[in-house]
Amino acid sequence: MTGTIPYWHVDAFAAAPFRGNQAAVMVLGEWLPDEVLQRIGEENNFAETAFLVRDETGEADWELRWFTPTSEVALCGHATLASGHVVLSDAERFGEGTRVTFRTRKAGVLEVVKAGEGYELALPVTLVERDSHPDLLAAIGFRGEVFVSWYGAEQTAIVALQSEAEVSGLAPDMAALRNIDLMAICTAPADEESDYDVVSRVFVPAWGVDEDSVTGSAHAALAPFWAERLGRRELRAHQASQRGGELTMRLEGEGKDQRAWLGGPCVTVVEGTFRL
């Protein structure tokens, strides 16, 4: 198989290069075989590579799929924001205005809109309930309350800690986490002097990423989780990874129609051609 694919390397939830979460965005004329998409994801070696194909059903503007270096995932927020940034930044090439929609295989239709100097992304919320998960707590290396998803994205767990310092100081057993097939979101209220309300770190070794830099899908769970506990539907969040990133979070709607709107800027750091 030979050919070329337009390629963008985007730092999502970042106002400047070298922060936020890296994503590759690749626009295809038609779908390639899944094994080729997976090999490209492995080659790029980012948390996610986003693949776009024009949607011919009329349900959305584009079809969208995401691949880690090891597998296809059901939902990825930062690579969706990066995809919106790519197509909304070049109206002459793609014909979009201030809003774009993406039809996905498991997460429904997702929407990205321009918002000030950045973008907002609407994701279906992930709701959690308290559960017992001693293996997860042992792998995290810290005692906390565990909440596991029951509606929304599959295989999500929130570990609630007491302080920002506890979140920042975590040193999980990655080998143990590789045997636990879920996204582990460790979170706490931010310090009073912080410019944000909540802090988190996200570990997904079972999906090929030890620690994710800034995770949109995790904040689809954190938005309703902290809105209930802090009594506010609009919050500011900081993901305390090595690269770090900030997001706005707001809830709209109720029940199964509820959406978490996640906001932040994006920066294109590489634009070029991927050759097969």
- What SS3 string covers the chain? CCCEEEEEEEEECCCCCCCCEEEEEEECCCCCCHHHHHHHHHHHCCCEEEEEEECCCCCCCEEEEEECCCCEECCCHHHHHHHHHHHHCCHHHHCCCCEEEEECCCCCEEEEEEECCEEEEEEECCEEEEECCHHHHHHHCCCCEEEEEEECCCCEEEEECCCHHHHHCCCCCHHHHCCCCCEEEEEEECCCCCCCCEEEEEEEHHHCEEEECCCHHHHHHHHHHHHHHHCCCEEEEEECCCCCEEEEEEEECCHHHCEEEEEECEEEEEEEEEEC
Co-location of 136 and 179 in the same domain: yes
Banded pLDDT at 1 (limits 50, 70, 90): low
pLDDT of 83-104, one tens digit each?
Answer: 999 999 998 899 889 999 999 9
Q: What is the mean pLDDT of the chain?
A: 95
Share of the chain above pLDDT 70, in %: 98
| Mean predicted confidence (pLDDT) in 41-63 | 97
For residue 227, give its domain range: 127-248
Co-location of 203 and 270 in the same domain: no
Co-location of 135 and 228 in the same domain: yes
Q: What CATH number does residue 42 fall under? A: 3.10.310.10
Question: In this predicted structure, which of 72-76, 112-116, 152-156, 249-253 has the lowest mean pLDDT?
Answer: 152-156
Does residue 102 sit within a domain?
Answer: yes
Co-location of 120 and 133 in the same domain: no
Banded pLDDT at 152 (limits 50, 70, 90): low
Co-location of 71 and 173 in the same domain: no
Does residue 114 sit within a domain?
Answer: yes
Banded pLDDT at 151 (limits 50, 70, 90): confident
Number of structural domains, the chain? 2
Of 35, 42, 43, 48, which one is the catalytic site residue? Answer: 48
Residue 129 catalytic?
Answer: no
